[in-house]
């Protein structure tokens, strides 16, 4: 009797509970698996053989397959079979790295795009030319569209009707030099909330206007432009996005930056701009333009990151004593500030920015790797040669402590902290004068030796603190 009970319990434990579920529920479970794993379930039993084909969510990446040939043959069969079925694909992520004929890739994409497509993510090798079917631009249920590199888009004579599109990512596409096509995509996307444009090799010097009243998150990355004597125009970027909440701007190609409507809801911004030698505008004019652009968002933004190139622009404004950097408006809402700088960029600009940041709570300073002074051995703190070095500017205490240090600044982080004597003096100034500081975090750089870390930690830990609640922590990469 006991043996029968034990056998019955074993049978209950080993019972296949999943196979007894309705196919709809099993299909829903499979949709959370990588497509290759979902396909592998067909060998479990006869009842599972066809289940994966009923899915509508697929994620293909040829790097996860044994060979590109096997992957290509599978994709041919998959789209042939799936194209004959009633249920259409709603989500497709296709990432390929192999050398497939453009015509073959076009057939896959063409078979996948139906009226019910909701999410389409395509990553095609750079030197491939795969045209998108024109009917994609009238898919009114499409919510997410992410296109990278080898995708060719021709909007000549094509109407764009993306009634539900909320996320649009465009990276490295040839069409990104056709700025009119970008504006046409935006005009046909009335509910777009997130836009990301990345182009590292710009060729057009025309003006780009990003206009969207629904846009909340915007990322633009233009890092290089090809100079053409036949097209010496002045490239400009205009933002007309009144409801923007997040702005990540890396633009080394635009000579003009404009903001058509002030985004009063702007919560977070990261700004990286730079002057390059082939610009038509003069350096002083560019600096004035960049500072004026920053002045527009100063009263609004709550979280701000100023990258190394931007800090160098601001330091030039201070060095040249340009009027644009004088009487800066307050950062009325800024509570978190991150800057990336090295050398005189930090000391010449930092005082002015902190003075304007009256509500600042978190301050993080990163070292600009492009301008980091390299040294094999840490300098001797008592060495006159080091202290008088013209390579590393000296930290100078401001005449008056900024308001935020007396009332709101609670967290300070120094990232890639090394043996720069000015960094040590800066840290000591913050420790002594930040009266409500709760945490001072020092994150050492790769170049610091164990002995140097111990000396820095000993010196800063024993320094007089303006806040009794302040804790000083040290960490290594």
Residue-wise pLDDT tens digits, 276-324:
887 888 999 999 999 999 999 999 999 999 998 999 899 889 888 899 9
pLDDT-derived band at 380 (thresholds 50, 70, 90) equals: very low
- Chain centre to alpha carbon of residue 80: 37
Tell me: the pLDDT tens digits for 187-204? 999 999 999 999 988 877
Give the pLDDT score at 343: 62
At 326 the three-state DSSP class reads coil
Judge whether 69 and 94 are in contact, CB under 8 Å.
no
Cα distance from N-terminal residue to C-terminal residue, the chain: 64
Q: Cα(106)–Cα(29) distance, rounded to whole angstroms?
A: 30
CB neighbours (10 Å) of residue 1? 5
Give the pLDDT score at 393: 53
Q: Is the pLDDT at 227 greater than 80, yes or no?
A: no
Tell me: the pLDDT tens digits for 359-368? 999 999 998 7
Judge whether 311 and 343 are in contact, CB under 8 Å.
no
- pTM to 2 decimal places: 0.85
Tell me: the pLDDT tens digits for 312-361? 899 889 888 899 988 889 999 999 999 987 665 567 788 889 999 999 99
Judge whether 125 and 153 are in contact, CB under 8 Å.
no
Give the pLDDT score at 64: 86
Which tokens is 360 given?
């600042």
pLDDT-derived band at 126 (thresholds 50, 70, 90) equals: confident
Q: Cα(163)–Cα(190) distance, rounded to whole angstroms?
A: 7
Q: Cα(293)–Cα(259) distance, rounded to whole angstroms?
A: 7
């Amino acid at each position: 009797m006991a043996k029968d009970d034990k056998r019955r319990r074993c049978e209950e434990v080993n019972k296949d509970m999943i196979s007894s579920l309705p196919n709809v529920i099993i299909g829903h479970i499979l949709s959370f698996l990588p497509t290759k794993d979902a396909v592998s379930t067909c060998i479990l039993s006869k009842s599972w053989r066809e289940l994966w084909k009923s899915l509508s969510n697929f994620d293909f990446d040829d790097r996860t397959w044994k060979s590109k040939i096997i992957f290509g043959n599978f994709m041919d069969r998959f789209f042939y079979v799936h194209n004959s079925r009633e249920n259409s694909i709603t989500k497709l992520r296709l990432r390929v790295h192999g050398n497939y004929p453009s015509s073959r890739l076009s057939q896959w994409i063409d078979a996948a795009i139906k009226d019910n497509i909701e999410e389409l993510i395509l990553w095609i090798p750079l030197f491939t030319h795969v045209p998108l079917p024109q009917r994609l631009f009238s898919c009114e249920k499409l919510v997410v569209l992410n296109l990278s590199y080898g995708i060719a888009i021709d909007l000549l004579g094509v109407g764009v009707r993306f009634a539900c599109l909320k996320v649009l990512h465009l990276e490295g596409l040839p069409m990104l030099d056709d700025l009119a096509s970008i504006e046409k995509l935006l005009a046909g996307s009335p509910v777009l909330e997130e836009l990301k444009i990345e182009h590292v090799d710009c060729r057009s010097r025309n003006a780009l206007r990003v206009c969207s009243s629904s846009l909340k998150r915007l990322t633009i990355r233009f890092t290089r432009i090809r100079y053409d004597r036949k097209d010496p125009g002045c490239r400009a970027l205009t933002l007309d996005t009144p409801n923007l909440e997040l702005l990540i701007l890396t633009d080394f190609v635009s000579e003009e930056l404009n903001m058509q409507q002030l985004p009063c809801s702007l919560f977070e911004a990261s700004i990286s701009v730079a002057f390059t030698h082939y610009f038509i505008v003069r350096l002083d004019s560019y600096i004035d333009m960049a500072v004026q652009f920053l002045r527009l968002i100063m009263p609004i933004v709550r979280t701000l990151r100023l990258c190394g190139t931007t800090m160098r622009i601001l330091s030039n404004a201070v060095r040249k004593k340009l009027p644009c950097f004088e009487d800066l408006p307050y950062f009325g809402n800024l509570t978190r500030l991150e800057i990336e700088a090295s050398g005189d960029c930090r000391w010449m600009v930092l005082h002015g920015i902190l003075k304007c940041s009256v509500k600042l709570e978190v301050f993080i300073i990163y070292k600009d790797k492009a301008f980091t002074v390299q040294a094999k051995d840490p300098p001797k703190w008592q060495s006159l040669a080091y202290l008088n070095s013209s390579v590393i500017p000296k930290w100078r205490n401001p005449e008056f402590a900024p308001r935020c240090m007396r009332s709101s600044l609670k967290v300070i982080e120094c990232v890639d902290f090394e043996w720069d004597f000015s960094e040590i003096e800066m840290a000591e100034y913050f420790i002594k004068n930040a009266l409500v500081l709760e945490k001072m975090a020092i994150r050492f750089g790769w170049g610091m030796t164990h002995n140097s870390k111990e000396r820095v930690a000993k010196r800063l830990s024993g320094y007089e603190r303006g806040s009794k609640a302040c804790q000083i922590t040290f960490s290594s990469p």
